[in-house]
Amino acid sequence: MSFLSATHMTGGYGGADILHDCSITVERGEIAVIVGPNGAGKSTAMKAVFGMLNLRKGTVTIDGDDITALSPQERVHKGMGFVPQTHNIFPTMSVEENLEMGAFTRTDAEIAETMEQVYELFPAVREKRHQNAGELSGGQRQQVAVGRALMTRPKLLMLDEPTAGVSPIVMGELFDRIIEVARSGISILMVEQNARQALEIADKGYVLVQGRNAYTDTGQALLDDPDVRRTFLGG
C-alpha cells in the first residue's frame, strides 16, 4: 500500500461535485506533482486530502491508517503538513514567530532543533527571522510557509503552488530545496502551475481535468507524452 493513498475522492463545497472519483497516491520519499488547467480542482483535491472538504465518497489513508474521518488538526498529528495556495503566512508576525506557530501542536522539547534545520535549508529565512513575514519578498515568504509546515515534522509535505509569483531562478532554487526535503525521506505532494519544470523533478505526475484524473504517469513519461505536451504543456 502507498504511503499516502487518497482514492475515489468525490465531493465539493456543498453544490455540484468538484472532484469526481479522483485518486492520488504518494510513496515514501517520493515527489508527486499535480498539474492541470485553472479551476481543474487541484487545490480542492489537496484540501480533500487534508480533510478540509466533506467527501461524499472516497478514502484517505496514510501509512496504512484510515484517516478519512479525521479533522485537519488530527491529520497533522498523523504526519501531514499543508501549505495552502494563499494566506499561508501570518504577515504581521515575525518570521521566527511564524515558525513557532508551526510547532504549536508539538509537545516535545526539540523545537529549536527543527528550527535550526529550517534555517539551514533556507538561509534567507534565518537572516530575516526578526522581521515581519509580510515584509519579505514573494520567494522568501514561500520559504517561510514551507518552513512553518516543516516545523510540525511532517512525513508528507503538501504544497499548493509553492512557486506562484516568483522568478524562474527563485523557482529553481525552491525546487532544489524541495528535492532536498524529499531526499531526507519526507514525501512531497505538490500542485504546480509551472508544469514542465515541476514534472522534471517529479517521480510521479497527475494531470487533473474537471476534477478527474486525466493522465497519471512518471514525470518523465508525461513530459514525453505528445497529448499531454500539446494540451497542457504548451507544445
Ligand X SMILES: Nc1ncnc2c1ncn2[C@@H]1O[C@H](COP(=O)(O)OP(=O)(O)OP(=O)(O)O)[C@@H](O)[C@H]1O
**Interface with ligand X (CB under 6 A):** 13, 18, 36, 38-44, 85
What's the min distance (Å) between Cβ of 155 and ligand X? 24
Long-range CB pairs of 108-115, under 8 A, 24+ apart, other chains included = 111/151, 114/150, 114/151, 114/153, 115/151
What's the min distance (Å) between Cβ of 54 and ligand X? 12
For residue 43, state whether it binds Mg ion (rule: CB under 5 A): yes
**Residues in Cβ contact with 207 at an 8 Å cutoff, skipping those fewer than 6 apart:** 35, 36, 213, 214, 215, 216, 222, 228, 232
What's the min distance (Å) between Cβ of 63 and Mg ion? 26
What's the min distance (Å) between Cβ of 44 and ligand X? 3
> Nearest-CA neighbor of 24 among 208, 150, 168, 160?
208
Burial of 4 (0-12, 13-18, 19+ CB in 10 A): buried
Considering beta carbons, is residue 86 or 107 the nearer one to ligand X? Answer: 86
What's the min distance (Å) between Cβ of 159 and ligand X? 13
Query: Residue 182 touches which of ligand X, Mg ion, none (CB < 5 to 8 A by kind)?
Result: none
Query: Residue 134 touches which of Mg ion, ligand X, none (CB < 5 to 8 A by kind)?
Result: none
Query: Residue 123 touches which of Mg ion, ligand X, none (CB < 5 to 8 A by kind)?
Result: none
**Residues in Cβ contact with 222 at an 8 Å cutoff, skipping those fewer than 6 apart:** 199, 205, 207, 215, 228
Measure the CA–CA gap between 190 and 149, rounded to whole angstroms: 13
- What is the gyration radius of the CA atoms in the chain, in angstroms? 17
Query: Residue 13 touches which of ligand X, Mg ion, none (CB < 5 to 8 A by kind)?
Result: ligand X
Considering beta carbons, is residue 42 or 128 the nearer one to ligand X? Answer: 42
Query: Residue 73 touches which of ligand X, Mg ion, none (CB < 5 to 8 A by kind)?
Result: none
The sheet carrying 65-66 orders its strands as 17-26, 4-12, 55-62, 65-66
Considering beta carbons, is residue 15 or 235 the nearer one to ligand X? Answer: 15
For residue 44, state whether it binds Mg ion (rule: CB under 5 A): no
Considering beta carbons, is residue 43 or 61 the nearer one to Mg ion? Answer: 43
**Residues in Cβ contact with 147 at an 8 Å cutoff, skipping those fewer than 6 apart:** 98, 99, 102, 118, 121, 122, 125
What's the min distance (Å) between Cβ of 50 and Mg ion? 13
Considering beta carbons, is residue 99 or 195 the nearer one to ligand X? Answer: 195
Provide the binding-site residues for Mg ion, judged by CB under 5 A: 42-43, 85
